[in-house]
A = this chain, B = another copy of it.
């Protein structure tokens, strides 16, 4: 293996591929990135066995002699980041010992032979749907934060992607709050899968421009084709709970308020509260809306919510301020509407105009 490559091009590709690499992988070879130099380009592969990323660099590279090697993700990324020259030269000296040259620096890095690297199947198989990258990014950002951190119910650690009747519905819940985002899709394919949150976060990070993304859904894995990158994620092998009855069709009371005002009030009201719970109480009547919290030990806070418009019977409801703040940030609009039915029933948060993104928060007995 021998080639010269533009430093920024390699750094960009390595930065993204390395996102799939775990430095704590039980399989040592997976702490590395596989360099596979073909006559038409350099294929870079990283994997932590949950998620695998592959790309092919075909421009700004001068291929001298094909070959392959696995180089430590941690060291190769730092070397390419810190070498002070526009072009870097790579050459396998002996077995897997690789010389990396650039500027006044010369590194000899011990690699691992490429035949030790597991074979990862990036072939395009299964059900295909095509979705705009910006829409996929929106669906991920509006839901993935609401997944559970608790491994006891594996299904809840991922986002449920459900396609049917030209619509894609994404749902995440940790059983204390729920996020649902929907989008029309051109393909009338049906599937119902759970994608691990970590994979979705990496996919969202890799998306840089607005373009159509091909997604191939198989039984146990899913393949995303984003620009020059192929990303495979395992699917969570579990059935997702039926959450359809949590969101009711009818809410009697509603509060309309500026997102900025509400986020500011939550920020200050949760200041003195227990960090785990962040419990706040919203007390509403048509004349007056306040948010309060109380800690026996530290003290209490009361926030007036100016220009908050409430329609309904007087209502007092307690819940996690953090969950409401997460929901408002996911809605990402100037104003939000909160809809309530009763003090101990879940309430929803949404945009004033659209139902594409519905956030649901469960109240807490105070």
Q: Which residues of A contact B (CB under 8 A)?
A: 72, 75, 78-79, 82-84, 97, 104-110, 264-265, 267-268, 271-272, 297-306
Contacts and interface: CB of A to CB of B under 8 A. Distances in A.
A97 B97 CA distance: 69
Contact of A300 (B83, B108, B302, B304): B108
A271 B77 CA distance: 11
Given A82-B271, A84-B264, A105 B298 contact: no
Contact of A108 (B104, B110, B299): B299
Secondary structure class of chain A's binding surface, majority of residues: mixed
A275 to B, nearest CB: 11
Contacts of A305: 104
A109 B110 CA distance: 60
Contact of A301 (B106, B301, B302): B106
In the complex, the 10 A-B pairs of residues with the closest C-beta atoms, listed nearest first: A104-B304, A109-B299, A108-B300, A106-B302, A108-B299, A110-B299, A82-B268, A105-B268, A107-B301, A78-B271
B306 A107 contact: no
Instruction: List the number of copies, as a whole number.
Output: 2
Contact of A298 (B83, B110, B300): B110
A303 B75 CA distance: 16
Contacts of A83: 268
Contacts of A304: 104
Contacts of A303: 104-106
Contacts of A108: 299-301
Most-contacted residue by chain B among A82, A83, A110, A306 (CB, 10 A): A110
B272 A75 contact: yes
Contacts of A302: 105-106
A109 B303 CA distance: 14
